[in-house]
Structure 1
């Protein structure tokens, strides 16, 4: 493995199919998620609108009450196709590789294969390979479990994940409809999660679904034991029908 491959970046995302919702309904869901996130990590407590410069953006805080968020969704409406829903985005004001940001596409009810999604880019190592305090704090099983849980409670997605992009690239193509990784959530509507081998931790998310954590330590694609565990778990999830058919 090349040295550059050791610099892994991480993301979190929740995904669901066509669901027609108003800006007010999207605002209510987003409020529930952001409210839950305030207790997960300080990185997720305050958000800013994006601007033409960092200085401008720092003067544009996002109020995460449902009324304000509904206005943001309304302004983020697709101007041509109503069925393509709404889009909003923001970031937490940290600099460069230490920042977290989000992009939400919701209210989509197109007959085409376009999914609704709530995706967070997470802090990572810098180009020098060093990791700042934000990445050290956020890239833990407990924090990412809290992030995925907040998305699951707020958006009620079919599935959600927080993992390494490098591991995602190791999944053979054609990839299944639903992926799996370090922290994964599956709605009960998708199916029931089967028993999984240690050290995988499983916990319920209210009456909505099941959250899985593959390892208590940071999951990396450069660790053969982690990759082998993920492969075994993927086989069991696939056998249980949770991954769905291959993408075209």
Structure 2
């Protein structure tokens, strides 16, 4: 799943506050997300995550994007990752939380995401509607994201472009639109629809685990994507301004 938003200048300390909130939200979603591990400096060993703002700020600052010569380039943001297992080897139960944010550049997109291990079939216990819905809302609300999409990787093979660029919300299992854009969307009756207290809009193709080979799941996903046409028609990142 991927949350995205437009230009926004944020310091490592500001991002640390959001990251700590995200970790707390994810830990509350399910016991499978209760424990996290990260690295407090570049190339350092992976260690148990600690919700200490000074430490997290230092970790994010160390993840500053660097130019071709290896010099820090904070204008292009900061990168940080955390995992649900301490081992580097792939695991069906390992999730990776990732952040690349803090850039005010109008040509770049700030983002935060959660993913299962690449090229590894995930444990069905971790790919549930409860976990993915909770994580989508956590990403959306902790980072004030413009939108979020959660999807199985094989669904991306059906994605299309508009005007030569990728859609902000394409076919997905769960789609989220921020309060500032939600009024433009008329959810399809086939979808699971939740209007959040702050005005955010969550739509899901199914409350079961999404299966791309299931025509019923894909059909509802297509209706949700079609409903998001007004959002996708906006500039990307949609309607955001540097802050």
Distance in 1 (CA, whole Å) between partners of 2:77 and 2:33 is 25
Distance in 2 (CA, whole Å) between partners of 1:140 and 1:244 is 31
1:93-150 deviations in whole A, cap 9, x for unaligned? 1652321112211111113x21111121125885xx7x6xxx2222111110000011
Aligned pairs (5 A) from 1:39-58: 39-49=28-38, 56-57=45-46
Structure 1: which 5+ residue stretches go unaligned? 1-11
Q: Taking structure 1 as the reference length, what is the TM-score of the superposition?
A: 0.80
The answer to whether 1:195 aligns with 2:187 is: yes
Q: Displacement of 1:27 after TM fit?
A: 0.7
1:63 paired residue number: 50
Query: Which of 112, 120, 128 in structure 2 is aligned with 1:118?
Result: 112
Change (3 A) 1:214 1:37: same
Distance in 2 (CA, whole Å) between partners of 1:208 and 1:197 is 19
Q: Displacement of 1:233 after TM fit?
A: 2.1
Structure 2: which 5+ residue stretches go unaligned? 66-70, 237-243
Distance in 2 (CA, whole Å) between partners of 1:109 and 1:151 is 19
Change (3 A) 1:125 1:103: closer
Q: Displacement of 1:246 after TM fit?
A: 8.3
Contact 2:81 2:98 in 1 (8 A): yes
Query: Which of 200, 203, 207 in structure 2 is aligned with 1:216?
Result: 207
Contact 2:173 2:210 in 1 (8 A): yes
The answer to whether 1:228 aligns with 2:210 is: no
Q: Taking structure 2 as the reference length, what is the TM-score of the superposition?
A: 0.81
Contact 1:87 1:104 in 2 (8 A): yes
Query: Which of 168, 173, 196 in structure 2 is aligned with 1:177?
Result: 168
Contact 1:30 1:66 in 2 (8 A): no
Distance in 2 (CA, whole Å) between partners of 1:125 and 1:28 is 32
Contact 1:14 1:157 in 2 (8 A): yes
